[in-house]
Amino acid sequence: MAQVLVVKYENQADAKVFETPYESQADLAVLEVPYEQQATGDAVWHMVHYESQATFKIFKVKYEAQADLRIFKVKHLAQAGIPVPDPRADQRGAILHTVCGKPAAVVNRLPGQSQLAPQAAHCAAVGEMLARAHLAARDYDRRLPNLRGLAWWNETVPVVLPHLEPEQAALIRAELAYQNHVAASSAYAALPRGPVHADLFRDNVMFAEDTLTGFFDFYFAGVDTWLFDLAVCLNDWCIDLPTGAHH
C-alpha cells in the first residue's frame, strides 16, 4: 500500500494529502512550509524529512516527454558528479512518478542561495560547471528539441509583430532573418550540441558564499547547441540589472 505525503500549508488549517510510491516509514515526510509556485508553473514543496531535507515537485509540462527528459537528465548529471537536485528512487527504482495526474519527483534540496549580484568569481564558477555539465551529458540518450529554440522563434515572432512599433518590428524581423541564415550555415551545423539547460539565469544557480552548490530548474531543458546555453548566460550574468549595462 502506498504511504501518504502530507502537505501542511502555513497559516492554514487544512492540509493536502498525496499518495506516493514510497513504502517505508523512512520515506514518509511532512511538509511544513508553504509551497512555491515557480514562474514555470511547477509546484514546489520543501520537505522536513526523517533523514534529510528534500524537495517534492509536481511538474507542469507541455509534453510528457518533457518531464521524462528533465528528470532523467538531472539524474544522469547527478550520477556524473554535477551538483543538481538528485531525484530519489523509490523501492522499485522509479524516479518519475504521477501525483494528482501530473509528473512528480522527490529530489534533494540544494544548499545555499542564488547570487543575484554576481561578481567575476561567480561567473567563472558558472562557466566551469556548465562546461562540465555539457560534457557529462554527451552520452545521455534521451532527446527532445529545445522548445524555445529557432523553430519557436519563427512561430512566435508573427504573433508578436502586431503589438510592436514599426522600428521594433523591423529590428526583430531583421534579427530573425539573420538567425535563420546562421542556422542554415555549415559553421552552425558543425557546432557541438547536446542536452542543454537553456535557462541558466542567475536565479537558477545556488551558491554558498562563493562556492557554486548547484544548478536547478531544468524546465526548458532540451537538445540544442552548447552555444545556446552560453548565450543565455551572457544575457543575464553579464548584465547589471538596475542599469542594463553589459560587463
59 vs 94: which has the higher pLDDT:
94
Flag whether the pTM goes above 0.85: no
- Flag whether pLDDT at 233 surpasses 90: yes
User: Which of 148, 166, 164 shows the shortest CA–CA distance to 156?
Assistant: 148
pLDDT digits (tens, 9 = 90+) for 66-117: 677 788 899 999 999 999 988 888 767 888 877 666 677 777 778 899 999 9
Distance CA 42, CA 86 (A): 17
How confident is the model at residue 139, as a pLDDT?
93
Residue 28 pLDDT > 70: no
The amino acid at 148: R
Higher per-residue confidence, 5 vs 85: 85
The per-residue pLDDT for 56 is 57
CA-based torsion, 35, 102, 214, 125: positive or negative: negative
Matching residue, cell 501518504: 4
pLDDT band of 119, cuts 50, 70, 90: very high
State percent of the chain over pLDDT 90: 51
Per-residue confidence at 55, pLDDT binned at 50, 70, 90? low
Joined together, the cell numbers standing for residue 103 give 509528473
Query: Residue 218, CB half-sphere, CA atoms under 13 Å: how many?
Result: 32
pLDDT band at 35 (very low <50, low <70, confident <90, very high): very low
Q: Are the beta carbons of 37 and 45 closer than 8 angstroms? A: no
Pick the closest to residue 123 from 233, 217, 17 (CA basis).
233
Q: Which of 5-9, 34-38, 195-199 has the highest mean pLDDT?
A: 195-199
pLDDT value at 6 more than 70: no
Q: For 92-96, 131-135, 152-156, 204-208, which range has the lowest pLDDT when averaged over its residues?
A: 92-96
pLDDT top residue among 99 and 33? 99
Res. 47: pLDDT tops 80:
no
